[in-house]
Structure 1
Amino acid sequence: MKRYILTGLMLCSLLLTSCAEPRLLDELNISQAAGFDLLEDGEMKGFFVFPVFKSQEQGSYQILSAKSNTISNIQFLVSEESPFPVVMGQVLVILVSEKLAKEVGMIDLMNYIYRDPIIGSRQVFAIVGGEVEELLYTKMNQTNLNIGVYLSDMLAQNMRNGNEPVTNQHIFMNQMLAKGVDAYLPYIKKTSSAIKVSGVALFDQEKMVGHIPAEETFTFKAMIENHKNGIYEFRFHDKWKTHVVIENIKSRVSYHIKPTENLTKKPHITIDIKLKGELKEFMKSKKIDKPSILDHVEKEVEKRVAQQGQDLVQSFKKQNIDPLGLGLRYRSKDKAVTPEKWKSIYPDADVQVKCHMKIVQTGVSQ
């Protein structure tokens, strides 16, 4: 009996596999990166980056582009220029110009990507300050990677070791559709000699409304996720203009929410950031061999991070956005508050940011 069952299962398997249309990798143009600009006439210009395999040259790639009002037609038109169909099954990064993100928004692009079954959900979206076309045609020095892989590695490294918050398509889509939180993405720019991560792009639903500059991303990341690594630097207002660099070893954040019995009163939320770090640089004539100096540095970091966090909260309120997800957090404590009610009380919410800094190592250059 077991033999008959096993034979039947094998036959079913053969029948099922024979129904699928085979697609050979050698007969596809598999894009590793894609990007989209908004043109003056309202059309979009799309770009697809493909690896070109040459026996004696690594990192070769080709960029194909087309213009249309829809993303699906852009992909179709690009395929017309290629000997093989264009697919996005291995796309690592998708770039969107700031103009497109602000004027049109992300919803059509996200729906197209989300509905395509061969595209995964772990690739990273990034907003480009300027034109995607100019950035993609940047010639990178001292690397044999194609531009798509380079950008993907750059973003992953900044999320893992730097001050950029962790995100991907899955996280961004959830934030964009959820009630009580607004989305954010990496914000990158081309400089005169390189491409760099320049901050965090902020969204109101599907449209970009602004960005956090790079010098404030350490604090923003510390407010939304527990993480390791990252750099925080500042200068004292002393006669030496002492330059201080703290390397984060561990960051932990907790939210303390006090629901109000009467919704006419302000809700209270405390964001408590705990930092442990290493003092990497302390450019000053005096040696840092006194506990009082370390205590002074710790208190200065606490004051600056807390104030920077407070300023970010006020900025978010003015823009009527909630990238910290305060609405979701508050409503988890008070089920009676609807998303609409939270929007009305959010501008007046009492949000306090506190920071506690502990320097655990002093590998200092002086």
Structure 2
Amino acid sequence: MKRYLLISLMLVSITLSSCAQPRLLDELNIAQAAGFDLLEEGEMKGFFVFPVFKREQQGSYQILSARSNTLSNIQFLVSEKSPFPVVMGQVQVILISEKLATEVGMIDLMNYIYRDPIIGARQVFAIVGGEVEDLLYTKMNQTNLNIGVYIADLLSQNMRNGNEPLTNQHIFMNQMLAKGVDAYLPYIKKTSNAIHVTGVALFDNEKMVDQIPGDKAFTFKAMIENHKNGIYEFRLGDHAKTHVVIENIKSHVSYQIRKTEHLRRKPKVTITIKLKGELKEFMKYKRIDSPSILQHVEKEVEKRIAQQGKDLVQSFKKQKIDPLGLGLRYRSKDKAMTPEKWEEIYPDVDVHIKCQMKIVQTGVSQ
């Protein structure tokens, strides 16, 4: 399927003309966000968010929608409701309903985006738990931002400062096309009058198959990228059921790969996560001046991160997905390993997770 998508995108890029007709910006309706829901019998409903410039109402916006069986026709039908042609040159975020991502997949959408030469590669895709329409019509409290800009900023902030792994259209497309890695996207939901980033959506080729809940997103992010910030919260197994909050200051991940040189010897991958963090909260009625207490917290974090990482890897193997890109990493070390052979041995690959935690500050609540 990935080969089909690659060929499709190559053919589309070849057919794009470099002599596109120039357009004046003041004669276009430029969308800042877009979203798509799946309706009955394969029909889709698309939404485009446009800024409305009013002096007295900063952040005003308009949402236009249409329904069709094709994405291109949706954009055309929305243009019929607008005084100017609708274009996506400033789209910052594209929202896809979970139903559309799981039942139809992302191939048509990626072809549609890739076909438009004025769309950049830095916008963010996100999967919506529920309907995109409900999310876009959320009445936000105490904000005068365009809803599309608000969601784009929400995702960017969570990727920069939170537990959400970094992604954008360029990264997502590369993951979909490459052999030996599967894609992931932010997973967001509407709750009451708020929008929350609640986890990470996982893909098998072009279709969403699962999600990582928010309480495991920190571990997943630490396994795939070096980053700063982020929060890790857990409860100790002591009598007082102490709650501990670690704020990540710096993390570094490395992969050590042992090639299989014998038919009976399994490949081995060791993932080492090194964390430096600040103990933000330690809800317990005793001081933590004792190094033994800090060491206990460090060991507890190491044990929990390693176990969560192991659980995630087992879940990935069971679903035959590889968001960590183990296949890509292994094949970079062993050129004789084919993608087909890797898929065959992937469930039996020996993956070890190690975590080293160092608390470097103790700004705590006691």
Q: What TM-score comes out, normalization by structure 1 length?
A: 0.94
1:16 aligned residue: none
1:161 aligned residue: 161
- Structure 1: 4+ residue segments shifted above 6 A: none
Instruction: List per-residue Cα deviations over 1:219-266 (Å, max 9, x = no partner).
Output: 000000000000000000111110000000000000000001124421
2:274 aligned residue: 274
What letter corresponds to residue 64 of structure 1 in structure 2? L
SS of 2:63 mapped into structure 1: strand
Residue 303 (1) aligns with residue 303 (2): yes
CA distance change for structure 1 residues 306 and 20 in 2, over 3 Å: closer, same or farther? Answer: closer
Q: Which moved more, 1:22-31 or 1:330-339?
A: 22-31
1:250 aligned residue: 250
In the TM superposition, residue 26 of structure 1 has moved relative to its aligned partner by: 1.4
Q: Residue 141 of structure 2 contacts residue 193 of structure 2 at CA under 8 Å; is this kept in 1?
A: no
1:334 aligned residue: 334
CA–CA distance in 2 between the matches of 1:134 and 1:112?
24
1:365 aligned residue: 365
Aligned length: 348
Equivalent residues in 2 for 1:4-23 (5 A)?
A: 21-23=21-23
Instruction: List per-residue Cα deviations over 1:63-105 (Å, max 9, x = no partner).
Output: 0000011100000000001110000000000000000000000
2:65 aligned residue: 65
What letter corresponds to residue 96 of structure 1 in structure 2? I
Aligned-residue Cα RMSD (Å) equals: 0.9
CA distance change for structure 1 residues 177 and 263 in 2, over 3 Å: closer, same or farther? Answer: farther
Q: Which moved more, 1:296-305 or 1:260-269?
A: 260-269
CA–CA distance in 1 between the matches of 2:22 and 2:319?
50
CA–CA distance in 2 between the matches of 1:170 and 1:342?
25
Structure 2 regions of 5+ residues with no counterpart? 1-18
Structure 1 regions of 5+ residues with no counterpart? 1-18
CA–CA distance in 2 between the matches of 1:331 and 1:103?
31
In the TM superposition, residue 20 of structure 1 has moved relative to its aligned partner by: 6.8
**% same residue:** 84
In the TM superposition, residue 46 of structure 1 has moved relative to its aligned partner by: 0.2
What letter corresponds to residue 99 of structure 1 in structure 2? K
Instruction: List per-residue Cα deviations over 1:169-194 (Å, max 9, x = no partner).
Output: 00000000100000000000001231
CA–CA distance in 2 between the matches of 1:216 and 1:175?
21
1:14 aligned residue: none
1:232 aligned residue: 232
2:180 aligned residue: 180
CA–CA distance in 2 between the matches of 1:86 and 1:202?
31
What letter corresponds to residue 43 of structure 2 in structure 1? E
CA distance change for structure 1 residues 87 and 263 in 2, over 3 Å: closer, same or farther? Answer: farther
CA–CA distance in 2 between the matches of 1:228 and 1:114?
32
Q: What TM-score comes out, normalization by structure 2 length?
A: 0.94
What letter corresponds to residue 112 of structure 2 in structure 1? Y
CA–CA distance in 2 between the matches of 1:184 and 1:221?
11
SS of 2:251 mapped into structure 1: strand
1:202 aligned residue: 202
2:34 aligned residue: 34
1:90 aligned residue: 90
Which protein shows a greater Rg? Answer: 1
1:5 aligned residue: none
Instruction: List per-residue Cα deviations over 1:138-158 (Å, max 9, x = no partner).
Output: 011111101000000000000
In the TM superposition, residue 24 of structure 1 has moved relative to its aligned partner by: 1.7
